[in-house]
Amino acid sequence: MPPCGRLADGGYLGRLGPPIPNTGPSEVRRSGIPDRVLGTGPSLTRDAPPTRHAFRMPIVIDDSMTGIDWVQAKVDLAADDFDNGRSPAALRRSFEGSRHVAFARDYDRVVGMARLLSDGVCNAYLLDVWTASTHRRQGIATRLVRQLADQVPGQHIGLQTDDAQPFYLGLGFRAQPEFMSLVVGTWLDNEQNEIDP
């Protein structure tokens, strides 16, 4: 069997072996890859000869900060106009200081992130929900928010958004009458944002 190779779009090209019957979307094929990832078609039927298929591995959602390139994350956030001025080190510290975090990974690249502050009792605050523009409209942000929400049962989760109200309403969030905020001094003019090890 020839080795698999990575395609320019991040998918993989490889020989899947002999065709097997289409058993439905909940079944896992001999290749170990669910057919919802592979799709179905003539090349997967019993009568078709083995062929090569391009497919993308699913995006992985996890809560590990291990291996994150915070400099690249900052570059990606800036490219998507989602950068609020934190240095890469300050961005990392923001996530380290959060009660719960979630990351979406496409292999070793972070393509989504979110974090949740919580008092552990009754109140939580959702922040920094971002999906790379190249990976939007695939349910990644929904998965990130749900993973975080699952960590705080019985708590009220608040958030602030400029333009994603329909998205959050679709997840069950409801508009609150008023949101107030205060910046002490100058935004991001603090010791934690200046230290960049």
Place of tokens 């919802």: 36
pLDDT by residue, tens only, the chain of 197 residues: 333 333 344 443 333 333 333 333 333 333 333 333 333 333 333 344 444 445 566 899 999 999 999 999 999 999 999 988 899 999 999 999 999 999 999 988 999 999 999 999 999 999 999 999 999 999 999 999 999 999 999 999 999 998 899 999 999 999 988 877 777 777 666 666 666 55
Crossing angle, helix 70-79 and helix 88-96, to 10 degrees?
A: 100
Q: What is the tens place of the pLDDT at every residue in 100-134?
A: 999 999 988 999 999 999 999 999 999 999 999 99
State whether 52 and 115 are in the same domain: no
State whether 95 and 166 are in the same domain: yes
State whether 81 and 142 are in the same domain: yes
Q: What is the CA radius of gyration of the chain?
A: 21
State whether 98 and 39 are in the same domain: no
Count: domains in the chain: 2
State whether 160 and 76 are in the same domain: yes
Q: Are strands 109-118 and 100-106 parallel, antiparallel or unpaired?
A: antiparallel
Which residue segment(s) compose the domain that 16 sits in?
1-57
> Residue 147 domain-assigned?
yes
State whether 85 and 135 are in the same domain: yes
State whether 107 and 65 are in the same domain: yes
> Residue 16 domain-assigned?
yes
> Residue 172 domain-assigned?
yes
> Residue 194 domain-assigned?
no
> Residue 182 domain-assigned?
no
DSSP 118-141: E-SSSEEEEEEEEE-GGG-SSSHH
> Residue 138 domain-assigned?
yes
- We report the CATH number of the domain holding residue 127 as 3.40.630.30
Non-local (6+) Cβ contacts of 62 within 8 A are: 102, 103, 105
State whether 91 and 48 are in the same domain: no
pTM: 0.67
Q: Are strands 60-62 and 52-55 parallel, antiparallel or unpaired?
A: unpaired
State whether 83 and 15 are in the same domain: no
